[in-house]
Structure 1
Amino acid sequence: MTLDPTDRRILSVLQMQGRITNAELAERVNLSPSACHRRVQRLEEEGVIAGYVALLDARRMKRPTVVFVEITLSGQADEVLAAFEAAVQRIPDVMECHLMAGTADYLLKVLAQDTDDFARIHRQYLARLPGVAQMHSSFALKTVFRTTAIPV
């Protein structure tokens, strides 16, 4: 799908203000409300807009501790990777899981209440993941910035 400048303006606004009304969005991007609605529908149908969410404040949700966990598996066979990926998706505290190129096979982003809570997560979930040979955890001291907006 080719995105024109109007599509890009729509996407930029929606990434920052997902609850904006269609009338407000149309005004911001210089379209009629009906034309704006059609474009947003097309962007949704084409999968460019994958969904809408509420972004929660981790501190207010009592999950201020960010831990990045590098995991090296015991092997690279498809069944080892598949078993790990299926299991890690069931851990409620894991916010992201990335298959990596480099020294670690996977990089996880985990949110915890504090170091004691991370110890619980480690014991209850991470230490039981299938195929894990090594695990290294790094605690973020400060989040300098965070965004969910993709450049359009």
Structure 2
Amino acid sequence: MPNDLDSFDLAILAVLEGEGRLSAAEIGARVGLSKSPVQARIKRLEASGVIRGYGARLDRVAMGQAHVAFVEVRLSDTREAALQAFNRAVLAVPEVEECHMIASRFDYLLKVRTSDIQAYRRVLGERISALPHVAGTSTYVAMETVKD
């Protein structure tokens, strides 16, 4: 599908990514199309899976989740069954906002969001370290978010 995206599709996606609640007419005005072609393109992009869904951007600080830490996770076993076990288990940890398998000296990079360092310490000790096949972790605390 990526090769089928034209400049109008990319423009529509950029507008939606920034402001997902705009009407088709408003999007059309920004990208130079009328309402009907914009609606048809959005339906096609949704059906093809390019647009996976819509959601609200939340202010995590206002929600009491201002503490951000990035955690390198090293596994004791990196065979496929172990990776799948880790993948399934990490999905159940709500404080893990993102989880990426990494080609590096460690296996996964997690973005963990909590209220403060004490809450992070509990999540690390009780949840992340208890995930299947975790051999070790290294934590990097974010001091400031420059771009989110």
Q: Is the TM-score greater than 0.5?
A: yes
Structure 2 gaps, min length 5: none
Alignment-derived partner of residue 149 in structure 1: none
Q: CA deviation at 1:123?
A: 2.6
Alignment-derived partner of residue 150 in structure 1: none
Alignment-derived partner of residue 130 in structure 2: 128
Equivalent of residue 67 in structure 1, options 61, 66, 69: 69
Alignment-derived partner of residue 42 in structure 1: 44
What amino acid does structure 1 have at the position aligned with 2:72? E
TM-score (norm 1): 0.92
DSSP-derived class of the 1:109 partner: strand
Q: How many residues align?
A: 146
* Partners of 1:130 and 1:7 in 2: CA distance: 41
> 119-128 vs 51-60, which deviates more?
119-128
Q: Provide the aligned C-alpha RMSD in A.
A: 1.0
* Partners of 2:139 and 2:11 in 1: CA distance: 39
TM-superposition CA deviations, 1:97-116 (whole Å, max 9, x none): 11111111011000010101
* Partners of 1:60 and 1:72 in 2: CA distance: 32
* Partners of 1:45 and 1:15 in 2: CA distance: 17
Structure 1 gaps, min length 5: 147-152
* Partners of 1:55 and 1:5 in 2: CA distance: 26
Equivalent of residue 92 in structure 2, options 86, 90, 94: 90
Identity, % of aligned pairs? Answer: 42
DSSP-derived class of the 2:140 partner: strand
TM-score (norm 2): 0.94
| Superposed counterparts of 1:1-152, under 5 Å | 1=1, 2-146=4-148
* Partners of 1:77 and 1:142 in 2: CA distance: 36
* Partners of 2:129 and 2:8 in 1: CA distance: 48
**Kept after mapping to 1: 8 A contact 2:72/2:137:** yes
DSSP-derived class of the 2:120 partner: helix
What amino acid does structure 1 have at the position aligned with 2:38? C
Structure with the greater relative contact order (CA < 8 A, sep ≥ 6): 1 or 2?
Answer: 1
Please identify runs of 4+ aligned residues in structure 1 that moved more than 4 A.
none
